Every structure is written in structure tokens, then in C-alpha cells.
Amino acid sequence: MAQTLVSDVIIPSIFQPYFIERTATKSRLITSGIMEMDAEFAALANRGGQTVDMPFWSDISGADEVLSDSAALTPAKIAATQDKAAIHNRGKAWSTNDLAKWLSGDDPMAAIADRLVDYWDRTRQATLLSTLKGVFLASDSSMDGNVHAIHHTSGGAPATVAATSFTGDTFIDARQLLGDSGGELSAVICHSAVEASLRKLDLIDLVIPSDGGKPISMFQGLRLIVDDTCPFETIDSSVVYTSYIFGQGAIALGFADINTPIEGGHGTEALEFARTALNHTNLLIQRLRFVMHPRGVKWLDASVAGHSATNAELETSTNWSRVFEAKNVRIVQFRHNIL
């Protein structure tokens, strides 16, 4: 008996490229400039293994020399350094039952498929925040120069003064950590309580997209992304928030092409469909292999139990070390209170 299945509506070999395309156009992390889809990193994700090595030449330095007819110039050298990125292997499965479809009068599997891009946008954001936590906890203190910590640290009542809070002035000081690379900053990600404080200070501008979509929040010309998974903690009765400021393309993103058809199944390695007939159940399984790497901070792979790092392992301090110059990393951690 012929019947129309979800697999007839969502063609896996077509859906995966469409998914990547929508990721690039809808993801707040990508449209803000925080993440940058990079063909080179996509190629890296297509390699085997758990990590990829990325050698690069360090900059040349040293003062020039005055020419002399009695002394030779002193040759200098250029040194090679190596960055390293983790390859992430992630997946998620969803199931629906025919009875749920009949009783609800709608197709739950189609609803799931329609929400996949937003789902993975949220999970990548969680992975990014875990990555940043680990990066700035780097056990060798190599990222300390990219931290602007002004929060209240003494005992007593919570701080409410502007000097320890996220304001227009203190944000400028945080941006200045990148020096002349500060002009490449494109976005801020912060907790909603921080955004509310900035609204009270009348520091947020709303920009209407050309397509008439939802207004975009801007702060000092930078895209403002609000997410309550941004960390906060209480230190000596004072709530301390951690916000992050990013330069353009600070995080490189590349997806492996795993759109290979599955033998004996329906779909591809990236998007597979299955059915358990006796239970009246449909399954949709999506798998991703990708690199999401903070440029210039080396993944040391020092503490990973499985074949791919978990978010908790991304937060481990011994897994990270900066290899670029501090201002070229283009990420600032801003620890502060709010007014």
C-alpha cells in the first residue's frame, strides 16, 4: 500500500545543503559576525580523526638596522607555530507516533523538521559558551590579557557604582584591550539582565532590517545578542555577569559533507529516517560533523574521554592555550556588575 511519509516530503540529499544554507542566513551567531562560515574549516571537518592541525607562520619582528660599510646585517628568521582545532561529532534523534498525528490533526514530524535550524542554532550557542569558558580558564593564563574584569570583589553590600558595571564607558575600556583591532568588533553576547540594565540607561538602538523583520538590538554599533545561558555568579553578595565581545570572524565554522546515502536505510548519514511499524513510530535522526574554533586559541585535547569533546570537556582549562597575539584572537571576556 502506497503512503506518503515524511521522507517523501523531506528529501535528505536536498535537505542537508538547505540546512547548511539556512544556518548561514538565520543563525544569530553567524549573521552577527561572531561566527564565520569558512570553506577551509569545512575541508578540515571532512578529514578523519578527532582534531586537525593548522600550522601558521608567526609575524616577523625586530628593529631595522643602519646600513654600514664595515658591519653586515644580522639575518633574522621566521618561526612556524601551530594552531589546533577539535572536530565535533554531534547528533540528535526525534520520534513521533501516528496516533499523535491523528489526534492532534497536525504533522509533528514536519513541525520538528521545520525547527531543526533554530534548534542547532541554540545548541551551537551553548557549545560556544562552553568553549569560551574553557578558553578563558586556560591553565597557562595565556588569555588573561583578553579579560576586562571590573566587577565588585570586596565584601559587604553589592556594588552599584558605575565603575564596576557594564556602561558605555566601561565597555569602551573593554574594547580597548584589542587595541587597533578593536575596530573589527562586531557583536556582544550578554545575559538578559545586562540587556535590561542597558535599556534603562537608554544605550540600546533598534535597527529595522531591510526585509521588515524583527528589530535588531545594537549597542555602540555592535550587534547585541541576548541569552540567559550567559554565565553569572554571586561573589561576596554581588552578582557578577560575564559578557563576551567578538571581532569579525572570531569563531571559524565549517561543516563536513556527510551527505552519503545509507546502505539498507532511508536517508543519508547526515539525515536519516526510520520507522518502527509495530509501534506506529517514525524516527528522524540528524548528525553533524563540524569544526567550531576560536581562531588563535589552540585546542590541546588534553582531557577528552570519548571520540569527540563534550561541552563539559570544552570547559576544561587544560584543553586550551593561546597561540596568536592577544589582540589577534578578537575575543574579550567582560566581567562586570550591572547598575
pLDDT tens for 295-309 read 999 999 998 998 899
Question: What is the reported pLDDT for 2?
Answer: 47
Tell me 159's DSSP state: P
Tell me 302's DSSP state: -
Domains of the chain are 6-55+79-336 (3.90.1690)
**If residue 51 lies in a helix (H) or strand (E), which one and from where to where?**
strand 51-57
Question: What is the reported pLDDT for 136?
Answer: 96
Question: What is the reported pLDDT for 316?
Answer: 96
pTM summary value: 0.81
Backbone angles phi, psi at 74, to 5 degrees: -95, 110
Q: Dig out the grid coordinates for 279 from the structure.
A: 509501534
Question: What is the reported pLDDT for 48?
Answer: 86
Q: In Å, what is the CA distance from 37 to each residue of 91, 119, 211, 292?
A: 20, 18, 22, 9
Burial (Cβ within 10 Å: 0-12, 13-18, ≥19) of residue 299: buried
Query: Which residues face 51 on adjacent strands?
Result: 86
CA dist., res. 154 & res. 46, Å (int)? 50
CA 310 to chain centre: 14
Confirm if 267 and 286 have CB atoms less than 8 A apart: no
State the distance between the two ends of the chain, measured CA to CA, in whole angstroms. Answer: 66
Residues of the chain with pLDDT under 50: 1-4, 158-159
SS3 144: helix
**How many CB atoms neighbour CB 289 within 10 A?**
20
Question: What is the reported pLDDT for 155?
Answer: 61
SS3 40: helix
List the alpha helices (DSSP H) in the chain: 6-9, 12-26, 28-31, 39-45, 98-104, 108-114, 116-136, 168-175, 192-200, 311-314, 326-329
Query: 169: Cβ–Cβ under 8 A, 6 or more apart, which residues?
Result: 162
Q: How many residues does the chain have?
A: 339
Confirm if 95 and 283 have CB atoms less than 8 A apart: yes
Query: 296: Cβ–Cβ under 8 A, 6 or more apart, which residues?
Result: 83, 322, 323, 324, 325, 328, 329, 330
